[in-house]
Amino acid sequence: MRASTTRASRRAGHPVIKPATTTMTSAALGDVVKKTCAGCHSDQRKQGNLSLQQFNLATIGQVAPEVAEKMINKLRTGMMPPPGRAKPGGDTLQVLLETLERTMDARYAADPNPGVRTFQRLNRAEYERAIRDVLSLDIKSESWLPLDTKSANFDNIADVQMPSATLLDSYLDAASEISRLAVGDPKASVSTSTYKIARLASQLDQVEGAPMGTRGGSSVTHTFPADGEYVFTVTLHAIPTGQLFASTAPFDEKIEVSVNGERAAILEVDRGMSQSDPQGMEIKTKPIPIRAGPQRITATFLRTFEGPVNDNITPLGHSIADTQIGAQAGITVQAHIQNFAVTGPYNPTGVSDTPSRRRIFSCRPMSAAEARPCAERILNRIGAQAYRRPMQANDLKGLLAFYDEGAKEGGFELGIRTALEALLSSPHFIFRIEEIPTAAKGRVAVSGVDLASRLSFFLWGAPPDSQLVALGRNGRLNDTTVLVQQTKRMLADPRSEALATRFASQWLRLQDIELVHPDANQFPDFREQLAIDMRRETELFFYNLVRENRSMLDLFTANYTYVNEALANHYDIPGVVGTQFRRVNYPAGSPRSGIFGHGSMLTLTSVANRTSPVLRGKWVMEVLMGSPPPPPPPNVPDLEKTEGAKEGRLLTTRERMEIHRANATCKSCHQFIDPIGLALDNFDVMGRWRIRENGAPLDTRGDYYDGTKITSPAELQQAMLKRPVPLMRSFTQNLMAYALGRRVEWYDAPTVRRIEAAARPGNYKLNDFIVGVVKSDAFRMRKVIAQAAPSTASPSTSVPAAGRSR
């Protein structure tokens, strides 16, 4: 039976994991550990901050479960014993591994622990999506909320989300301004909002949202608080001399300001502008009448040329990454917009209909007697959506108290706005506090309504919809069949793209690409738009895995990707035209495959002026393999301080690395890291293929830690896929951490193993991992450590400081 199953597995294409055939006693395995491992992992040396000198297989599950799980991880990846050290013969290590896994799985079965999660609060991204769902208003939460603290790669981990007085004040400020924008403010005072353009942004091409026939500048959706007149200000960059332009070449620059694609003003650019002038580098429009609500506003140059421009414009002329734009006299260089600001309203005349007002005002009182009942209906509806559960009597009572206060001061609309401010300040909106039954002890099931929120924030990164809340309220969501049905429904919904833009983006650390600014002289083609395209490529790739329920092994082996024209040209992929991303297969013979061919990963693991095999190797070990190398020992100079030239030539990165790791202390870690990174070194800082560095042929040869010779991304991929289990378990662990909103602990490891094993026969389809997490006890249950009083917080206990911004 086993042989036929194995043959069927091979035909299906999914990995076959061969179990050990040798039988060994616990005492014999203990002797193997002490002989093979305890020399380095002793009480004195404690390499890897681990001692196995007192290892006892019979008691390790109770005495040192964390140590057991560390051993399992290292044995699964094949990293221990390290290269060059003697290993036991036969399948002894496999027997030890499987015995440890059985021991820990039995330990969990005897004492199941679904884990504890304190309350969560809405982070920046979740806050934005909640506001959009509740009020049909798009906001930038960074305008009020501080950066989210990350733990275990993610920004939704509960134990680092503890509120502070400063943070709570930020939520109050946000509630005040958002309620004003949502309802509108006919008495709005004049204020200025400024949109900055990044120095790395190219101003050569048309920006997204700008009218045709334009280039550069900025196009954004801005929410206007009232009907009135607004003045737009464009600030231009100055060259180091303080002037706009240093060239004597012909110059004819005009800036178009448009609202919703319609031209509102043309601004003439004076080539003699200087920072010493009274108006500096600013150009202002006359007051322009604009209606309240979200409007797309744009400030951009009229395009005065077409076709190739490098014959007339310096290679750095598309951006100001070099900080010297226009400094070379005699070379045609474009003007660049630095800031785009909108100021107003002047002479406000009222508030027009807006999407937010349509969402809020589902009824209108025709008399004073109808006002409060209408307000009650509005707040009951919006409150249920904002609190992600049905409203209770105390909830509504508290909000109506704020309505009464506002209505007394300024009528019905100000009353609604004041109540909305209180609602957005409520702990029921800001925090995801899960209900605990009064007499609960030990393991308890998460309530249906709370389970709806867990599922929705996991799959959509947003609050649950009405169907999910209804199923949670009537208890049906706790039924496994219904839970799985809802999971599949939500995965088929476009909102599941959040698994790519939120989960995968953080797991793969795509945000780090913003920290790498390739040297402008060495890499003049790099620009912010290219970095954005690279990140979008990886997000769309992962979303395709979700949408088509593809194998997670595609992350390593896929011969396709998602590109637009700019990124296709960067990768030398022919036949792609336009700004829209589309799926393309790599050309025959392309060295790109899976994530190792993505510019996002290759750029974020580089430094400004060179590739970094160390960063790339470390990223692979941490992110994909789940086995990060230990931190470097103190007093070890970094690679940048290693001699960079020899005998009149620049050294390659490999040569400098070999000098750097001559230190025996460094070598112990670099023997794992460096071969992985060197196998990817044919890709330069921007992710383009190359065969030489500093004029010398690249040498990417290395020995993978299991002895496999690797010289290329394809060979690295093959070496890693010899052991798919640790790769898939690492992915599962990250998926669980994001779904649970807490770090994955040692007692979660049996669940991780169970999910990976269940997904293996189906060739690791992505939905099998997601459903496995959703069905797990860790997702559906929680452990009650001590009796906690049920939450009695209501909106009346919030402190919105009604009227603070009116």
- Tens of pLDDT along 133-169? 999 999 999 999 999 999 999 999 999 998 899 999 9
Amino acid at 774: V
Residue 657 shares a structural domain with residue 594: yes
Q: Do residues 95 and 31 touch, judged by C-beta distance below 8 A? A: no
> What number is the average pLDDT over the span 274-302?
94
* 597/736 same-domain check: no
Which of 81, 110, 139 is at the close of a domain? 110
- Interior angle at CA 61, CA 58 and CA 67, nearest 5: 110
Q: Which of 678, 701, 721 is the last residue of a domain?
A: 721
One domain, residues 385 and 516? no
Quick check: is 15 in a domain?
no
With a cut of 60, say whether residue 799 has pLDDT above it.
no
**pLDDT of 14:** 53
pLDDT top residue among 271 and 502: 502
Whether 628 and 685 share a structural domain? yes
* Same-domain pairing of 339 and 404: no
Q: With contact defined as beta carbons under 8 Å apart, do 558 and 620 qualify? A: no
The share of the chain scoring above pLDDT 70, in percent, equals 87
Nearest Cα residue to 75 out of 57, 100, 40, 55: 100
**What is d(CA 686, CA 597) in angstroms, rounded to the nearest whole number?**
11
Domain endpoint, select from 703, 721, 739 = 721
Q: Across 727-796, where does the E strand assignment appear?
A: 781-784
- What DSSP assignment string belongs to 157-185? -GGG----HHHHHHHHHHHHHHHHHHH--
In a domain, 3, yes or no: no
> CA 136 → CA 245, 412, 468, 469, distances in Å?
44, 20, 20, 19
Mean pLDDT over each residue of the chain, to the nearest integer: 87
Q: What is the pLDDT of residue 798?
A: 45
Q: How would residue 641 be classed by pLDDT, with cut points 50, 70 and 90?
A: low
Q: How many CA atoms lie within 13 A of 794 on its CB side?
A: 14
Instruction: Name 583's bridge partners.
Output: 562
Mark whether 369 and 421 lie in a shared domain. Answer: yes
Are the CB atoms for 136 and 358 separated by under 8 Å? yes
- pLDDT given at position 793: 43
Q: How many domains does the chain have?
A: 5
Return the number of other C-beta atoms located less than 10 Å from residue 799's C-beta: 11
- Domain coverage including residue 746: 438-492+724-790
The reply to whether 703 falls in a domain is: yes
* pLDDT tens by residue, 309-363: 554 445 556 777 765 544 444 344 678 899 999 999 999 999 999 999 999 999 9
The pLDDT, as a whole number, for residue 773 is 98
Residues 225, 342 within the same domain: yes
Same domain, 550 and 691: yes
The β-bridge partners of 282 are 235
- Cα distances (Å, whole numbers) of residue 506 to 9, 535, 748: 33, 11, 21
Do 365 and 449 lie in one domain? The reply is no
Same domain for 276 and 201: yes
pLDDT for residue 27: 85
Is 251 among the domain residues?
yes
> Both 290 and 174 in a single domain?
no
Q: Please report whether residue 7 resides in a domain.
A: no
Find the mean pLDDT for residues 443-449.
Answer: 93
346 and 209 housed in the same domain: yes
Q: What is this structure's pTM? A: 0.91
User: Does 385 reside within a domain?
Assistant: yes
Range scoring the smallest mean pLDDT among 6-20, 132-146, 702-716: 6-20
Q: Is residue 9 situated within a structural domain?
A: no
**What stretches of 599-696 show up as alpha helix (H) in DSSP?**
599-604, 613-619, 653-660, 664-679
